[in-house]
Structure 1
Amino acid sequence: MRLLVALTCFVAGCLAQEPHPCTSPPLLTGGLSVSTQNEKLFFYAGYMYDAIGQRIRLYEMGTMDNQTFTYDVLLHFREHVMYEINDKDKTCKKSPLKADFMPLAIPKDASLLGQFVLGSSSGPGEGLLVNTWAADMPDKAGKYLSTVTEFGCIPVSVLYHTDKFGWTVTSYFNNVIGLSDPSLLNPPSFCLGEDTMIEEEPVDFLSLFQRKP
């Protein structure tokens, strides 16, 4: 009986522990959507994320200023290079990339806003336990809110503000740990040897789309 009581107290104590900042898995594949407060930009993207090699690839379809666009971009942060890839025409644009790599992680100085259940807590499998954190933007220009799963630190959503778009929400879904095809994080052969074609480079995530028609 004493053992049962001790085990019950131990489990209750573990469940009652306050969440701590965490780092998402270094290799992820999935989908994401971005929508802005001013409704000028919306897109859906498949993504591949490699925190070890600091590489990200995005396959996007969306609208900006009521015009539809498709976009395939490969970001190599260590080499400071961005590739805009057109597999259909076998063409590639290569430009310098000055943006810093931002790993999917909750900073150690982030503030916990709360722990919530997405969906329902009425029965097993009906909800997802998540934590929402507030942290400073890298340039200290404001704060952003990041929600991740309690178990695994899988990204769920990020909310932040920009002068161009207002409040912006990035939502993650269909996340899978690992890379189904790591070769897709390397530039295709028709990109190799390309000269730099664009002098101006994106300085943050959303500026990738400010050149869209």
Structure 2
Amino acid sequence: MVQIHRQRYPSRMILEVTLLLAGLSVASGSICCPPKQFSAFQYITFVNSRTTARALHSFVYDRINQRYLVSSNPDDNFFIGTAKVIYDYRKKVGYSINTESKTCSKFPVQGNFEDQENVCVPSGADSLGPFFYGYNRNRLNSLSYTYNSTAFDGRQQIVDATVTRDGCIPITITTTTFGGKGGNSLYTVGYNDFYAGLRDDTFFDIPSYC
């Protein structure tokens, strides 16, 4: 397993990165999708002519219940850190929670879960051929695809996704968005320490102070 140095990031940074993630949409239908529930670490890089931002956070994906969670400040003992943001598409509500300061704020969630997830490879994607990570018998067989997408504000995008050949587990997803105030932008998500299923059923519990 590849090791990642886990740095701490403030809740504001994690929320901004989460909003970027939620702004992506893909066409209906798919070539393949990862497990309906999973958790992983995401290392994110966002670059345009004005800004460079990097963040490491934990990500919990629950397609069955149409919700996902991102959390900042993970450490070696806890997968979920002190700051987390939950998007619940069935209830159309989101929660920004800080368990250390015991604060919580709600916000409306718009759109459909299927339009926001951006982890499936959509139908119509063009294959870029097989890729291999690792060495000899320990290598990881993967496939890469490219496809067009549309941002929430209508800007055009090109997405390059690399997933495992078995299971469609995401490895890297790179999105190039054209235009906007900061000019063209590059948004890259790398996945690490992937776990199929939910590590803990309490991840999505809403605290009483919300």
- Normalising to structure 1: TM-score of the pair? 0.69
Q: Secondary structure at the match of 1:124?
A: helix
Q: Secondary structure at the match of 2:209?
A: helix
Give the structure 1 partner of residue 84 of structure 2.
Answer: 72
Alignment of 1:43-62 (within 5 A): 43-61=55-73
Q: Report deviation, 1:138.
A: 4.2
Alignment of 1:106-185 (within 5 A): 106-120=121-135, 123-125=136-138, 127-139=139-151, 141-162=156-177, 163=180, 164=182, 166-185=185-204
Query: Aligned partners of 1:44, 1:150: CA distance in 2, in Å?
Result: 25
Instruction: Give the conservation status (yes or no) of the 8 Å contact 1:48–1:185.
Output: no
Query: Aligned partners of 1:151, 1:34: CA distance in 2, in Å?
Result: 24
Root-mean-square deviation (CA, aligned residues, Å) is 2.2
Q: Report deviation, 1:71.
A: 4.1
Instruction: Give the conservation status (yes or no) of the 8 Å contact 1:32–1:45.
Output: yes
The code of the aligned residue for 2:45 comes to: S
Q: Report deviation, 1:171.
A: 0.4
Q: Secondary structure at the match of 1:85?
A: strand
The code of the aligned residue for 1:124 comes to: R
Moved more, 139-148 or 51-60: 139-148
Q: Report deviation, 1:99.
A: 4.3
Query: Aligned partners of 2:96, 2:83: CA distance in 1, in Å?
Result: 8
Larger radius of gyration: 1
Q: Report deviation, 1:37.
A: 2.6
Query: Aligned partners of 2:133, 2:209: CA distance in 1, in Å?
Result: 44
Query: Aligned partners of 2:68, 2:207: CA distance in 1, in Å?
Result: 14
Q: Report deviation, 1:46.
A: 0.8
Give the structure 2 partner of residue 27 of structure 1.
Answer: 37
Query: Aligned partners of 2:54, 2:165: CA distance in 1, in Å?
Result: 28
Instruction: Specify every segment of 5 or more residues in structure 2 that has no aligned partner in the other structure, as ranges.
Output: 1-29, 75-81
Figure out how many residues of one structure are paired with residues of the other and give that number: 162
